[in-house]
């Protein structure tokens, strides 16, 4: 009886450790994004390079979480909730690694922008960045608390980021049409905004994983989305 209790306790500790690693990985992904956004705002190449270097740690996190979770599944053969926790941990780690890659891409764009003059439109992109970071922080809080209701709320509200991207797209395109000298910098800002929109999409995937862990079924594929951009044929 005592031996079984020891096994259960050891198993619980392994699950808790994996969950803690996910939380740490989420914090680091948010730090990469924040550093990259500061590089954009301040046109600071040193901060941009720092964000690029920081991303490497996420690769290590992903590998360790995947190996540990896979090993636990193989050795413990968990069922029901515990199995869902481990499967979701692997998927969330992969998602956070991708978020880090997008943050790194933003930093690389910031390096290009640092060589030119500051553009007024940058402030809109920075505001979108703040909203994206807030959404990432919120979904990691939902993960820690295993709060499916908050996860669904974040999943539904991602439409706000879609609309921000659409607004920035129109604003930047208009800006570039008015002054062709701004096309290069404007293109970089569009890439940054698109990366932010994709990070938002990744946070909704984490929402789906949290919902799956709690309820044992998919959240669904009918997430509200912003209106697609209309392109004129004229």
pLDDT at 46 over 50: yes
60 vs 226, higher pLDDT: 60
Element (H, E) at 97: helix 80-113
Task: Give the span between the Cα atoms of 158 and 204, in whole angstroms.
Answer: 7
**pLDDT digit string, tens, across residues 186-201:** 999 999 999 999 999 9
User: What are all long-range contacts of 220-228, with beta carbons under 8 Å and residues at least 24 apart?
Assistant: 223/155, 223/156, 223/158, 223/159, 224/156, 224/158, 224/159, 225/158, 225/159, 225/162, 226/159, 226/161, 226/162, 226/163, 226/165, 226/166, 227/163, 227/166
pLDDT at 231 over 50: no
Residue 32 pLDDT grade (very low, low, confident, very high; cuts 50, 70, 90): very high
pLDDT at 43 over 60: yes
Secondary structure of residue 110 in the 3-state scheme: helix
pLDDT at 229: 56
222 vs 89, higher pLDDT: 89
Task: Give the span between the Cα atoms of 82 and 117, in whole angstroms.
Answer: 53
Task: Kindly state the tokens that stand for 22.
Answer: 């996910």
Task: Give the span between the Cα atoms of 59 and 41, in whole angstroms.
Answer: 26
Task: Kindly state the tokens that stand for 178.
Answer: 């008015």
Place of tokens 């481990």: 86
Task: Give the span between the Cα atoms of 33 and 144, in whole angstroms.
Answer: 20
Global pTM value: 0.90
For the chain, what are the domain ranges?
2-215
Secondary structure of residue 20 in the 3-state scheme: helix
Average pLDDT of the segment spanning 40-67? 96
pLDDT at 2 over 70: no
pLDDT at 224 over 90: no
**42-52 b/e (C-beta count within 10 Å ≥ 16 → b):** ebbbebbbbbb
Residue 219 pLDDT grade (very low, low, confident, very high; cuts 50, 70, 90): confident
Q: Is 16 exposed, middle or buried (0-12, 13-18, 19+ CB in 10 A)?
A: exposed
CATH of domain 2-215: 1.20.58.220
**pLDDT digit string, tens, across residues 83-133:** 999 999 999 999 999 999 999 999 999 999 988 777 777 889 999 999 999
């Amino acid at each position: 009886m005592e031996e079984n209790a020891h096994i259960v306790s050891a198993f619980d500790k392994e699950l808790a450790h994996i969950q803690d690693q996910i939380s740490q990985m989420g914090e680091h992904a948010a730090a990469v994004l924040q550093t990259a956004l500061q590089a954009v705002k301040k046109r600071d190449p040193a901060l941009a390079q720092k964000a690029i270097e920081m991303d490497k740690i996420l690769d290590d996190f992903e590998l360790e979480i995947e190996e540990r979770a896979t090993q636990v599944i193989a050795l413990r053969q968990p069922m029901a909730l515990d199995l869902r926790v481990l499967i979701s941990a692997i998927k969330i780690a992969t998602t956070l690694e991708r978020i880090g890659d997008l943050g790194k891409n933003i930093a690389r764009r910031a390096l290009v922008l640092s060589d030119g003059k500051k553009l007024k439109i940058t402030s809109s992109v920075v505001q979108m960045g703040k909203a994206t970071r807030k959404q990432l922080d919120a979904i990691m809080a939902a993960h820690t608390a295993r709060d499916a209701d908050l996860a669904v709320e974040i999943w539904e509200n991602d439409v706000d980021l879609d609309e921000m991207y659409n607004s920035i797209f129109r604003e930047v395109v208009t800006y570039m049409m008015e002054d062709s000298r701004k096309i290069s910098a404007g293109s970089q800002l569009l890439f940054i905004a698109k990366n932010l929109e994709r990070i938002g999409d990744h946070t909704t995937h984490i929402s789906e994983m949290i919902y799956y862990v709690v309820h044992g079924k998919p959240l669904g594929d009918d997430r509200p989305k912003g209106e697609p951009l209309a392109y004129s044929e004229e």
